[in-house]
């Protein structure tokens, strides 16, 4: 081995080694910072996406039932039945009005307590609220020589507010009257708040033209568990009956849930704005508000 060649071989000096280490620390720190930021961003996006999906799922459940509110079976037989039955009133105005149907065939299949018999549907659809209404309180089949009789009291027309109109005549010709659906969108129940924090609607799910007790659907916010509940059974009302959570109170907290009608009460077009605000239990800073405008697709009249 050449001793002279070994004498002139050099490595890194201490200063050069320290500079290299410092530069490496800066590079590694930058990589760690960027990677950490990316992970934080991805985590935040995943949390936001999760919350958004949960709230959207709840909104879908609510708007689906709202869009079907007031729905009844719509067949050609419905219209033919009304167009071939005239009505005769025993009095023009007052309480305990008796309506005689002619002919009476199958009339009893259509009349239910709480239903409304309405005259002159065309005016209502044109926007002029001039209809006369009778809220049915019961019916009884007469003798073989008489037609079926319906009894009831005067009631406001759907969309008519508190105004009450008497029938304009004692005879309503075939096709000149209509049944109001028992699930009329004009009679949506709420808790009286503005905007409402509870809403109960109904629709004829089994298509039998009868307002069955199991065909009502309600939604409200549970302020104790910060969840959205749906009405299940018992007394129908926003503060009564049995309600069950449909949101996962262990994952998300519902901070606000309300309905606001955005069309005038006199308008035949009924639209509600539904708002849901919630946050993640595991990350309270992750909060989101979603809104949807729902148009009631079913006319208040069959």
**What is the model's pLDDT at position 12?**
67
212 and 288: one domain? yes
Omega before 195 cis (within 30°)? yes
Do 226 and 254 contact (CB within 8 A), yes or no? yes
* 22 found inside a domain: no
Q: How far apart are CA 290 and CA 242, in angstroms?
A: 27
Look at residues 150, 180, 210 and tell me which one is the last residue of a structural domain. Answer: 180
Do 64 and 192 belong together in one domain? yes
Both 171 and 190 in a single domain?
no
Report pLDDT for 145: 44
Sequence-ordered list of residues with C-beta below 8 angstroms from that of 83, at least 6 positions apart, any chain: 174, 175
- Residue 105 within any structural domain of the chain: yes
Q: What is the pLDDT along the chain (302 residues), one digit of tens a residue?
A: 555 555 555 666 777 777 878 788 878 877 777 777 776 777 778 888 889 999 999 999 999 888 888 887 655 556 777 787 788 877 655 566 777 776 665 666 666 666 777 775 444 444 444 567 777 777 666 554 455 667 777 666 655 555 566 666 677 888 877 777 677 665 577 777 778 888 888 888 887 767 777 888 889 999 889 999 998 888 888 888 899 999 988 889 999 999 988 888 767 678 889 999 999 998 898 899 999 999 887 765 54
Asked whether 275 and 294 are in contact (CB, 8 A), the reply is: no
Give the pLDDT score at 302: 47
Q: Are residues 282 and 251 in the same domain?
A: yes
Same domain as 218, residue 172: no
Domain that holds residue 234: 49-71+184-295
- The number of folded domains in the chain is 2
pLDDT score recorded for residue 186: 58
pLDDT reported for residue 46: 80
Print burial letters for 167-203: b (CB count within 10 Å at least 16), e (below 16).
beeeebeeebbbbbbbbbbbbbbbbeeebbbbbbbbb
The whole-model pTM stands at 0.66
């Amino acid at each position: 081995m050449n001793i002279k060649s070994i004498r002139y071989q050099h490595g890194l000096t201490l200063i050069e080694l320290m500079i290299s280490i410092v530069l490496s620390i800066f590079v590694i720190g930058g990589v760690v910072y960027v990677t950490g930021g990316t992970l934080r961003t991805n985590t935040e996006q995943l949390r936001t996406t999760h919350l958004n999906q949960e709230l959207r799922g709840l909104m879908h459940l609510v708007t689906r039932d709202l869009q079907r509110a007031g729905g009844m079976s719509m067949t050609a037989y419905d219209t033919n039945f009304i167009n071939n039955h005239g009505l005769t009133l025993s009095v023009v105005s007052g309480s305990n009005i008796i309506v005689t149907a002619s002919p009476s065939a199958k009339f009893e299949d259509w009349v239910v307590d709480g239903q409304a018999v309405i005259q002159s549907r065309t005016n209502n659809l044109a926007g002029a609220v001039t209809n006369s209404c009778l809220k049915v309180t019961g019916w009884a089949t007469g003798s073989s020589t008489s037609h079926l009789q319906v009894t009831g009291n005067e009631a406001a027309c759907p969309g008519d507010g508190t105004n009450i109109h008497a029938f304009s005549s004692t005879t309503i010709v075939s096709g000149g009257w209509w049944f109001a659906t028992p699930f009329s969108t004009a009679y949506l129940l709420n808790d009286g708040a503005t905007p409402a924090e509870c809403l109960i609607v109904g629709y004829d799910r089994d298509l039998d033209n009868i307002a069955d007790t199991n065909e009502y659907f309600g939604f409200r916010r549970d302020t104790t568990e910060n969840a959205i509940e749906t009405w299940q059974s018992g007394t129908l009302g926003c503060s009564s009956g049995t309600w069950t959570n449909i949101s996962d109170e262990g994952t998300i907290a519902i901070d606000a849930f309300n309905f606001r009608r955005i069309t005038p009460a006199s308008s035949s077009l009924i639209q509600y704005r539904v708002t849901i605000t919630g946050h993640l239990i595991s990350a309270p800073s992750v909060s989101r508000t979603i809104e949807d405008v729902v148009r009631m697709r079913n006319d208040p009249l069959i």
